[in-house]
Structure 1
């Protein structure tokens, strides 16, 4: 990119703007559809275990497809991959609309749709993340990540709230609306013009597919930050149990469920807006661990709350803390990884980070089935605090990290010294 391009604001990078709106539309559709699926499954079965299975069905594709996802993202046009995945989302929304109109909606069909969405999401999210670095220069990466987070969190606020509100009046309209949002996302991705990354010339061998694991393992910062999020989200995720809290504990109904799902994003959005203007630049490691500790404490407060306003407030604080951690982690992964490895590293990051959300939902559902919803969330929040303390000791280099330093800059410095 030219020097003038490097100093331009985010809004002057048209490809990033299209990518931002694509993420906004796709996430609104996904989150609204998640409200309908979660409420429908619990209404049909009344089972916490079935809510947990929703997470498991989305986790399985991430595990099975990780090596393929990373290799595909580094060898083919990433925009095409994203569009295909979003097309699967749209198709699932259409199928669900037809099933609700015809009365064919069942537990089994919902599980099939969840699995299909999980497969598409396993390709879409890591590939989408790899595209961010192609739309802005390295100097703008922390601000771009924060802005990217605002798109995601705005959608997480609007999607569940909109889905819950519309569901209360006409359930069948929600999935139809989601299909339109997915179509809008596909159009935005199609309008993107980016500098195409040079595809890897490696043959599709097991060794080249495993190169991402070798890369992450050889860099303690990446290993530490990815594994930290794996265990914290695995233990701290209570999203799958929100239908139980909304219906049985808080008596808030589907509208309350939408508000609860939106609450973490409210805190995250406000925080991300601040970070997009004032990015985290110093004492990065220490601030990340503090935010993880706040995340765990807020999860405990939510578990103990029997008041809807307090529950919403606790989830908002949880989301704000998570936003700080997400921006730091995402930026670190981007700047520490060369472009030719971003697809494979992003796939590994999704396996350990993104899929931990869905596996955490399964874990929460199982614990809730055994011990109840409140003890399940309490165990998760306390576990998050313990993991944060352990990782501070296991990865001192990450704890003492002060600034982001792109891998290209380190190469130039080493060359100069040589």
Structure 2
């Protein structure tokens, strides 16, 4: 196998199956996110409702994450992944049912919205398990020397599905309506459930079976908080998503500011992800292991600047361009963060470290959605995004100055070892 083979991970059959099922799953999840936001905002016409969606998913995802990591480290990963997909299919079917004509005619609008919030809350619980399960499973599918390549392809697949999901979600709402779009999402989740059983069961690497939940959680948290590189990388991404992101209020920009409708809503969502996936595919040919820390800092700075331009823009295509550039920097940041985590995390702690990653980054998506909704309600959507971008720049500058191990990080030796 060539030393810098850009397709190294793709030469492993089970990893290809994993990528296919992850694409189907994330495609459905991404479409569902777009459809839920559009439906709830259409029903309520209230910016704060978009923030409530984020809060409903953030609260369970954040508080369940440590326990999820403890469980993931002690369970067989393939079957656990299958269980998570099965439960997610129940959420998808529930949303499909809630948007049917029968329910819309029989239920009051407030009841439908509350039921959607409840399903989103259930989804937040599942999100706490999905992150550490996937993070742990990847390491069992490929050898360590190609972790960076596997992380790149996995992240690219995730972003590619996000691109398609965001784009098709917006267009399908216009073409076939919310209800039938959710029906397609349910079928995608069921397809992912079938494919997961083409992956063999994997060994359980954690030998500390007798360790109590409290001890297990303490060990995982202590490991992350004592490693300045991992802690710095997670903090950077969390702050960028929490303050710099504006995905949750794209519906406001599409409908009220840019006058772009549901099609424009889909394009705005897709532009951010498209920039990311193109960049991540490029990193399969251009390694990011040399000068890793500096590249991560530059990427987050670029993301913050691009989001400031987006917030200030009143022109649709300028907004799309700014999001595309933000996606480019976001793609670099994501690949670097995943590579750092894969290379520096012991096998027996992957579930717990993946759970902490979910708390920092995954949950910050939902908390960021809540923050964006509240800020948009108080300041207006454009100013909220601009202020978030400024907060991102201030934070990355402070971390760059204070965190020398992260600033000087180079992963070349880790790969060679």
Whether the TM-score (by the shorter chain) exceeds 0.5 is yes
- Mapping of residues 114-263 of structure 1, within 5 Å: 114-171=120-177, 172-193=179-200, 195-200=202-207, 201-263=209-271
Please state whether the residue corresponding to 1:193 is helix, strand or coil: coil
CA–CA distance in 1 between the matches of 2:275 and 2:416?
Answer: 34
Aligned with 2:291 (options 280, 283, 290): 283
| Cα distance between partner residues in 2 of 1:210 and 1:183 | 36
Separation in 2, partners of 1:321, 1:63: 26
Distance in 2 between residues matched to 1:278 and 1:227, nearest whole Å: 25
Secondary structure of the 2:73 match is helix
1 CA distance for matches of 2:185 and 2:113? 20
Deviation at 1:308, TM superposition (A): 1.4
Aligned to 1:337: 345
Q: Which residue of 1 aligns with 2:13?
A: 14
- Offset of residue 277 of structure 1: 2.3
SS in 1 for 2:235: helix
The CA deviation at 1:324 is: 0.5
- Is the Cα contact below 8 Å between 2:30 and 2:162 reproduced in 1? yes
Unaligned runs of 5+ in 1: 410-418
Give the equivalent residue in structure 2 for 1:373.
381
Cα deviations across residues 35-84 of structure 1 (Å, max 9, x unaligned)?
11001111111111110011111111122212210111100012222222
1:341-374 CA-to-partner distances (Å, cap 9, x unmatched) read: 0000000011011111110111111111111001
Query: Which whole-Å deviations, capped at 9, do the CAs of 1:201-247 have from their partners, x for residues lacking one?
Result: 23333112221101112211111111222222111110111000000
Report the CA distance between 1:408 and its aligned residue.
11
Contact 1:38–1:243 (Cα < 8 Å) also in 2: yes
The answer to whether the 8 A contact 1:166-1:174 is kept is yes
Name the stretch that deviates more: 163-172 or 185-194.
Answer: 185-194
Shift of 1:145: 1.1
Shift in Å at residue 390 of structure 1?
0.4
Partner of residue 391, structure 1: 399
Unaligned runs of 5+ in 2: none
Question: Which residue does 1:47 correspond to in 2?
Answer: 46
- Count how many residue pairs are aligned between Structure 1 and Structure 2: 407
Distance 1:282 1:194, change over 3 A: farther
- C-alpha distance in 2, partners of 1:218/1:126? 20
Q: Cα gap change, 1:112/1:408 in structure 2, threshold over 3 Å: closer, same or farther?
A: farther
Deviation string 1:5-46 (CA, Å, 9 cap, x unpaired) is 998822221121111112111110011111110011111111
Q: CA deviation at 1:279?
A: 2.1
Q: Runs of 4+ in structure 1 displaced over 4 angstroms?
A: 3-8, 404-409
Residue equivalent to 2:64: 65
State the distance in 2 between where 1:109 and 1:274 align.
42
- Helix, strand or coil at the partner of 1:324: helix
Cα contact 1:235–1:380 (8 A) shared by 2: yes
Is the contact made by 1:146 and 1:327 (CA closer than 8 Å) also made in structure 2? yes
- The answer (yes or no) to whether the contact 1:89–1:117 under 8 Å persists in 2 is yes
In structure 1, C-alpha distance between the alignment counterparts of 2:91 and 2:356, rounded to whole Å: 26
CA shift in 2, pair 1:74/1:407, >3 Å: farther
Q: What's 1:413 paired with?
A: none
Matched, 1:109 2:115: yes
Give the whole-Å Cα distance in 1 for the aligned partners of 2:81 and 2:318.
38
Q: Which residue of 2 aligns with 1:412?
A: none
Partner of 2:355: 347
Q: Give the structure 2 partner of residue 304 of structure 1.
A: 312
- Alpha-carbon contact 2:78-2:200 (below 8 Å) kept: no
Q: Tell me how large the CA RMSD over aligned residues is.
A: 1.9
**Contact kept in structure 1, 2:306 and 2:322, CA below 8 Å:** yes
> Residues 404 and 61 of structure 1: is their aligned pair in 2 closer, same or farther, counting only changes over 3 Å?
farther
- Using the size of structure 1 for normalisation, the TM-score is 0.93
Distance change in 2, residues 1:247/1:4 (3 Å): closer
